[in-house]
Copies of this chain bind each other. A is one copy, B any other.
Amino acid sequence: MSNIEEETVQIQRKGTWLTVRDDVKIVDCTIRDGGLVNDYHFSDDFVKAVYNTCVVSGVDYFEIGKIVSKTVMSPDEYGPWNFCEEEDIRRIVGDNNTDMKIAVMADIGRTFKEEIKPKSESVIDMIRVACYIHQIPAALEIIEDAHRKGYETTLNLMAISKVNDSDLDEVLEIVANSNVDIIYLVDSFGTFYSEQIRRLTQKYILLAEKNKKSVGIHAHNNQQLAYSNTIESMICGTSYLDATIAGLGRGAGNCPMELLFGFLRNPKFRILPLLDFIQKHIIPLRKELTWGYDIPFMITGQLNEHPRSAIGFNKNKRTDYSKLYNELTDAEE
């Protein structure tokens, strides 16, 4: 065993497996991430069922969709949850007289801050901004505007597995000095292993805590690690955990909420309503939509690539997996 490096890693652990951590919040992304599978064409009944299930299950935030401007994407093509107009949200949640907060996601270049009302006129509580590293200035503009209007805000920096450490450090420093409330560690391609998640979580936590912010995690299931990485990150101090019922989401999908509930010890989280929802709504949905772990998404995850080649592979009903692998690893130099 001469070529084995032995090294000791120190993990600053928050809580044990029986500790209730009041800082932990569950963010349901079933409609928002699931909408990427069907262009947001969920029926009102389905959205209401997710909302009601989340309320009784003890979910903290319900992300109902995106706030894209109808001037850039057409309601003829995309369902209402791509736009989340106030009256559409209220049709589902009324005045939302519950303990669960309502979140929406803003898209860089497609969400216009002029179209966002002040918080006092909206049932929305939180605006989440997902962006690539070069879009940080645009993202911060939306965040500062939303912050001034009275919303909680998150910044979800995507595709960091393609970003080098010094660029990431520089961007996180800028983000940490903004008014954003929560900084999200996002594994867009489902490519990170637990060791990388621990290292990144420590980086995010250090900076966030210095600036009185919290950290969230959004994982994808390309390598069947979404749940595992979510709890590893939580153990290292992450507070906001994104999940979707049955892992519904584009490609390999997300961290399945029913798995996450098996790990959480806070009795406010109740798994039985989730199981009923899966029986009544997910079993039929699987006949219409396809999502979840599958070999093509495993390949893009292993190779740290965007899932678009896997989506195209499946759409063309291809099964020549090793050819896909070879296509993605062709030497370019």
The interface of chain A, by Cβ under 8 A from chain B, is 1, 3-17, 19-23, 193-196, 221, 223-229, 231-232, 235, 256, 258-259, 262-263, 271-273, 275-276, 278-279, 283, 293, 295, 298-299, 301-302, 319-322, 325-326
Contacts and interface: CB of A to CB of B under 8 A. Distances in A.
A41 B272 CA distance: 38
Contacts of A279: 319-322
B7 A9 contact: no
Contact of A5 (B3, B15, B226): B15
Given A4-B21, A14-B6, A23-B1, A275 B259 contact: no
Contacts of A228: 194, 224-225, 228-229
Contacts of A14: 1, 4-6
A106 to B, nearest CB: 29
A221 B221 CA distance: 14
A262 B16 contact: no
A9 B11 contact: yes
Contacts of A5: 14-16, 19
A231 B321 contact: no
Contact of A10 (B8, B15, B229, B272): B8
